[in-house]
């Protein structure tokens, strides 16, 4: 496969954005389930492999084990095996993982790291009382923030570094594709959404619920309880134009997030691994698809754990991307200021 230039890759991704947006506009629920079940696990496995070779962008050798262990904790909570454990403890664990990733990027001394970890644990128990905290860290951060906001950040930092038309165009198209779902909504359905699709997507309805809540698009309780969930699915999720538009955004964000990763082989070289590791990744990927097709409930539980693990392990890179955006903007501001001084000096 010929190596693409940065400009060619940007134009390729613009095409992928448009394809994902059109497919999400046409059949959002079906597209999401296909992308999540078939493209998702291959993305998670290959990115974890790539992160591993780069030491997860942290300062400590074993930092990734802390983040992976926190993902395991949430997986255990979700099984319901531990009676009496509140489900919103998931938000506290995610908050601790996100904060710990920042500590792993910035601090190297064990004492400093331990002090900050204890601070995160202490503040998480206080923050758990807030409904917004539960929604942001339990639902939004591992899902739409990861696949949409963080993907947008990667596009932004690339555009700032390149200072190229193609880089800026890719950012504009990405934002424009997302905006179309709020402006035009989703395509009107010509038929009923199938029972299998409805039954399978039910596990993800909390995300739609959380996204619609800030815009007052339902008058149900926050956080969701069993009765509210049933009402939301029956009266909103598959009928409301706003709900369908939100679903289009979710499907677009997830699908393009995966396609973007697979398009970047010539830039970040995530595919350059040993044959043994490649074979293991393919075997686990096929096994994940087989498990999903055999028992979608069990398959979705495994895919959620795999997804959450890759999200947690990517947190350090997300923090670094924030810093890199700041550096690029600072450099641009400094350069603009310097040019103004030169022009001012020359005009005297």
Angle at 287 between CA 286 and CA 293, to 5 degrees: 90
Paired tokens of 203: 């596990």
Give per-residue pLDDT as tens, 7-58.
Answer: 999 999 999 999 999 999 999 999 999 999 999 999 999 999 999 999 999 9
Taking the C-alpha atoms of residue 274 and residue 247, their distance in angstroms, rounded to an integer, is 38
181, 249 Cβ separation under 8 angstroms: yes
Average pLDDT over the chain reads 88
CA 221 to centroid of chain Cα atoms:
26
Is it true that the peptide bond before 223 is cis, omega within 30 degrees of 0? yes
137, 95 Cβ separation under 8 angstroms: yes
Q: Residue 14 belongs to what domain range?
A: 6-191+245-346
| pLDDT above 90 as % of the chain | 61
Asked if the model's pLDDT at residue 341 lies above 70, the reply is no
CA 59 to centroid of chain Cα atoms:
23
Taking the C-alpha atoms of residue 111 and residue 122, their distance in angstroms, rounded to an integer, is 17
Taking the C-alpha atoms of residue 227 and residue 223, their distance in angstroms, rounded to an integer, is 11
Contacts 24+ apart (CB under 8 A), 75-82: 75/301, 75/304, 75/305, 75/308, 78/301, 78/304, 79/301
**pLDDT confidence of 100, banded at 50, 70, 90?**
very high
**Amino acid 311: pLDDT:** 98
Give per-residue pLDDT as tens, 317-338.
Answer: 999 999 999 999 988 777 655 5
**Amino acid 113: pLDDT:** 96
In a domain, 34, yes or no: yes
Angle at 118 between CA 101 and CA 63, to 5 degrees: 30
pLDDT (average), residues 249-274: 93
Asked if the model's pLDDT at residue 177 lies above 90, the reply is yes
In a domain, 223, yes or no: no
**pLDDT confidence of 205, banded at 50, 70, 90?**
confident
Taking the C-alpha atoms of residue 155 and residue 148, their distance in angstroms, rounded to an integer, is 11
**pLDDT confidence of 84, banded at 50, 70, 90?**
confident
The domain total for the chain is 1
Number of neighbouring beta carbons within 10 Å of residue 136: 18
In a domain, 130, yes or no: yes
In a domain, 237, yes or no: no
For every residue of 254-268, DSSP letters joined together read HHHHHHHHHHTHHHH
Give per-residue pLDDT as tens, 206-235.
Answer: 888 888 876 555 555 556 666 777 777 777
**Amino acid 73: pLDDT:** 94
In a domain, 117, yes or no: yes
**pLDDT confidence of 190, banded at 50, 70, 90?**
low
In a domain, 208, yes or no: no
Asked if the model's pLDDT at residue 339 lies above 60, the reply is no
**Amino acid 59: pLDDT:** 94
Taking the C-alpha atoms of residue 308 and residue 146, their distance in angstroms, rounded to an integer, is 10
In a domain, 312, yes or no: yes
**Amino acid 238: pLDDT:** 84
Paired tokens of 284: 């686990």
**pLDDT confidence of 149, banded at 50, 70, 90?**
very high
Give per-residue pLDDT as tens, 262-319.
Answer: 998 878 888 899 999 999 999 999 999 999 999 998 999 999 999 999 999 999 999 9
In a domain, 239, yes or no: no
Taking the C-alpha atoms of residue 257 and residue 65, their distance in angstroms, rounded to an integer, is 25
């Amino acid at each position: 496969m010929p190596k693409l230039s940065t400009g060619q890759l940007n134009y390729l991704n613009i095409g992928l954005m448009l394809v994902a947006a059109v497919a999400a506009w046409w059949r959002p629920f079906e597209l999401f389930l296909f992308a999540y079940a078939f493209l998702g696990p291959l993305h998670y496995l290959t990115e974890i492999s790539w992160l591993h070779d780069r030491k997860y962008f942290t300062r400590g050798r074993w930092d990734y084990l802390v983040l992976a262990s926190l993902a395991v904790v949430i997986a255990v909570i979700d099984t319901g095996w531990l009676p009496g454990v509140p489900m919103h403890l998931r938000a506290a664990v995610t908050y601790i993982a996100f904060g710990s990733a920042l500590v792993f990027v910035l601090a190297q001394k064990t004492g400093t790291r331990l002090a900050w970890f204890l601070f995160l644990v202490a503040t998480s128990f206080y923050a758990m009382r807030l409904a917004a905290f539960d929604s942001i860290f339990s639902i939004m951060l591992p899902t739409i923030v990861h696949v949409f906001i963080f993907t947008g950040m990667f596009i932004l930092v690339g555009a700032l570094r390149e200072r190229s038309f193609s880089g800026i165009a890719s950012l504009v198209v990405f934002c424009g594709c997302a905006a179309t779902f709020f402006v035009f909504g989703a395509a009107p359905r010509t038929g009923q959404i199938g029972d299998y699709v409805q039954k399978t997507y039910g596990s993800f309805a909390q995300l739609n619920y959380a996204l619609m809540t800030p815009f007052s698009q339902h008058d149900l309780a926050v956080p969701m309880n069993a009765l509210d969930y049933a009402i939301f699915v029956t009266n909103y999720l598959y009928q409301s134009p706003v709900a369908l538009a939100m679903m289009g955004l979710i499907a677009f964000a997830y699908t393009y997030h995966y396609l973007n990763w697979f398009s970047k082989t010539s830039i970040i070289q995530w595919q350059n691994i040993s044959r043994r590791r490649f074979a293991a990744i393919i075997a686990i990927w096929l096994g994940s698809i087989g498990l999903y097709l055999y028992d979608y409930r069990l398959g979705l539980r495994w895919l959620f754990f795999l997804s959450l693990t890759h999200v947690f392990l990517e947190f350090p890179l997300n923090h670094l991307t924030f810093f890199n955006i700041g550096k690029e903007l600072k450099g641009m501001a400094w350069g603009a200021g310097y040019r103004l001084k030169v022009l001012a000096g020359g005009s005297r």
